[in-house]
Each structure stands twice: as C-alpha cells, then as structure tokens.
Amino acid sequence: MSHKKQTLGEFIIENQTAFKYSSGELSSLLNSIRLAAKIVNHEVNKAGLVDIIGAAGDVNIQGEDQQKLDVYANDKFIQTLTKRNIVCGIASEEEDDFISINSQDENHQNKYIVLIDPLDGSSNIDVNVSVGTIFSIYRRVTPVGTPVTKEDFLQQGKKQVAAGYVVYGTSTMLVYTTGAGVNGFTLNPAIGSFYLSHPDMQFPEDGHIYSVNEGNYIQFPQGIKNYIKYCQKDEGDRPYTARYIGSLVSDFHRNMIKGGIYMYPQSSKNPEGKLRLLYECNPMAFLAEQANGKASDGFTRILDIQPKELHERVPFICGSKNMVEKAEEFMRLAQE
C-alpha cells in the first residue's frame, strides 16, 4: 500500500504495536480526536454561513472573549472523548478546572488524560484565516479506578505519550506523534477520510523564516530584540523573511515544512509569556522535538518545565534547531 493511500485509521492500527502501552486504548482515543476534528472542521468551513461566528458573550478563564466557535469546538471534543469511555479526565483551555470522567462501570480502568486547546487562533475566524485544535495526551499518575486529580494534569511535557494538532486551512490536516516521529494526514472532504500525506515530517535544521508579533517589539526582552535585529541583518544567509499569521498551529505548521522559528516571548505586558504551557507549548514542543526541531522558553527546554497550575503561561521559542539555539544564545548574552 502506498503512503498516499493509507488512511489515518489504518495507520493508527498498523502502528499501535510500536507503542509501549499497546492496549488499543490510545488508538481509540486518537480515533475519537479524529472524529471530533471532522465535526469541528465541518462547522469551521461553514462559519460564514450561519450564526456561529463572533463572540459568545462569555469570557474564559484567560480573560479572553470566547468566540462562539470556541464554545462549539470545546463542547464537541469533550462530548466525543467522554462518550467513547477511554479517558478518565480532560482539561481544556476553555474550562476553569479539569473534568473528571468516571465511566458507568465503578471499576473503570481508563488510563489516559487529555489536555486540549479546542480552537487555537479563533479570533481569526471572522476574517477567514486558518485556525486549529491542539491536543496533548498523558497516562494518569494517580491509581487507575479512582477519580483523577490535578496531579494527573500537572506533568512535565516529556511525559506526554502523544500530542498533535489539526489545522483547518485550505486543506484540513491532522498532524500527530506518539513519540516515534511526526506524521501528517490530509482530509479528503468528499469521503470524510484522512490520508497520510506527509510521512515523517521534519524541521529543516536551518530556516529563513522568523515568526513573531513585531507589534510588541518595544515590550520584548533585550535578548529577543537583539535576535530580531540579527534576523534582519543583510549578512551571510540573511536577511530572513518575517511571516506571522497569529494562529500558533498555522505558524508552527508552516515553519516545520519550510524551516523557521516561532517566538512568543515574555513582554512587559505579559511578563510570564502569553501561551499556555499545558495546552499549547508542551504539545508543540513534543512535536518539534519528534520532528528534529527544538522548543525552549529562552533558557530551558519546554518539556523539562514542571507545571504548577493548569493555565500556566510561559515564554515560547520553537522551530528549526539552529535558529532556536541562536535565539537562546542572544537571550543568554543579554543576561550577562
């Protein structure tokens, strides 16, 4: 069977034996994410036709206006994951606290928890720019059969067993890893199946794209300012090209394919950083490292950070290895 013809479902089944906890549960979990992604994709693609775009009137835990599609995507992923009876807990960027799921069976044996950003970049919906879903999967650390606790969710990123994202763009893609490389699947909307289109995705070691919101330049730490100036210099293989969409999933996806660096540093406005460690940075860092890239807060490997709270924010620098290392060098030099 050629790579082009293999469906996501077939790929998951074929590769589940390579996964060290091969019980079929993780495969079922990935399949339920696939299903929810198709449902959300359908809504995203008709967002301009129905009364689903715009703010929902609620503000989420982050203090941001919730978009109607955020709420819809959040509900769909939670419903799909809950109904399948394969997870024992879910944490969402849209929910104040984690959700504990106990199956009908009192001796439920569910071992996995999911952390999800149901609709990343949703402020771009109204202007028809790509948005995405980010997910992160861990094995619980508390005893199986008991209700989950916060400890199950506050695990270091290096303990993830799977992570991925869906980008709802000109074509819809699901990209994921279970710790054995990164593979991308493109949705054929005519028949509703995802097909393996990007096997073994890798960041080029070097790139020519830097992605950062330069509108915040004046608030950035000196190390990042110096790195941006370095990117703009006409020397060697520079100047680099600036590309910034404002949807983490889209910026990451482009940089993984073409080579580049994405930066959302701390700033005087957001001294801890803006992106969430558990819902955005950890899953993207896991994908980056599995695709020969690197992810850092400027000084520390993202996957080594010990989370202290569900909605914790961190500075985030991620992408082609040599570019991230150069940015870290500028951060270190600025501290000296």
Say whether 214 counts as a known binding-site residue: no
Task: Of 26, 224, 209, 52, give the one whose Cα is nearest residue 135.
Answer: 26
- Percentages (nearest 5) of helix, strand, coil residues in the chain: 35, 25, 40
Say whether 122 counts as a known binding-site residue: yes
- How far is it, in rounded angstroms, from Cα 60 to Cα 74? 12
- How far is it, in rounded angstroms, from Cα 201 to Cα 289? 11
Task: Of 265, 329, 323, give the one whose Cα is nearest residue 297.
Answer: 265
Residue 146: how many other CB atoms lie within 10 Å: 12
Half-sphere exposure of 252 (CA within 13 A, CB side): 34
Provide the Cα torsion 165, 167, 171, 175; round to 10°: -20
Say whether 123 counts as a known binding-site residue: yes
Say whether 121 counts as a known binding-site residue: yes
Angle between helices 68-83 and 25-45 (to 10 degrees): 150
Enumerate the H helices of 55-130 as residue ranges: 68-83
Say whether 119 counts as a known binding-site residue: yes
Q: What is the distance in angstroms between the CA of the first residue and the CA of the last residue of the chain?
A: 56
User: In the structure encoding, which two tokens stand for residue 271, read together?
Assistant: 């001294």
Say whether 96 counts as a known binding-site residue: no
- How far is it, in rounded angstroms, from Cα 296 to Cα 302? 5
Say whether 197 counts as a known binding-site residue: no
Say whether 250 counts as a known binding-site residue: no
Residue 304: how many other CB atoms lie within 10 Å: 12
- How far is it, in rounded angstroms, from Cα 116 to Cα 166? 11
Q: Are 173 and 167 in contact (CB under 8 A)?
A: yes
Say whether 93 counts as a known binding-site residue: yes
Q: Which 3 state secondary structure label does DSSP give 276? A: strand
User: In the structure encoding, which two tokens stand for residue 196, read together?
Assistant: 């393996």
Q: Which residues are annotated as a binding site for substrate?
A: 120-123, 213, 244, 274
Q: Which residues are annotated as a binding site?
A: 93, 117, 119-123, 213, 244, 274, 280
Q: Which residues are annotated as a binding site for Mg(2+)?
A: 93, 117, 119-120, 280
